[in-house]
Amino acid sequence: MPTVRTVFLPYCIEINEDGTFHILNRYYAPIGLQKRGHVSKYKIEGLTENALISMGLVRSNSEHHVYFFYADCTTPTTSPENWKRYSDIMEEFAKYEILDVMEH
């Protein structure tokens, strides 16, 4: 059964070859959807792989350019500590400015 967390909270961010980003939910779909579909690409000023790592995101072992906001063992809704970790990451992530949105 879907939850608000799995549909509406960012789970991972994918860096595209052109330096844009996809921000995906737990279904690896755009935020708000349960199935892959139309995915907007975001140009985000100053956001780099190093910035994602310094915020606490973890790079995927299998997908080189995918970074996770949380893992199954740190799901934000399972404990106050996990929620604090996630909200700290979101606090930093929310400071970045979106320069452009590309629809494709």
Tens-place pLDDT, residues 31-73: 888 777 777 899 999 999 999 999 999 999 877 799 999 999 9
Domain ranges of the chain: 4-102
User: Which one, of 28, 35, 26, 30, lies nearest residue 6 by Cα?
Assistant: 26
The yes-or-no verdict on residue 98 having pLDDT over 80 is yes
β strands within 32-104, DSSP E: 41-44, 58-59, 66-68, 98-102
Q: Is 37 helix (H, G, I), strand (E, B) or coil?
A: coil
Average pLDDT, the chain: 93
- pTM for the structure as a whole: 0.89
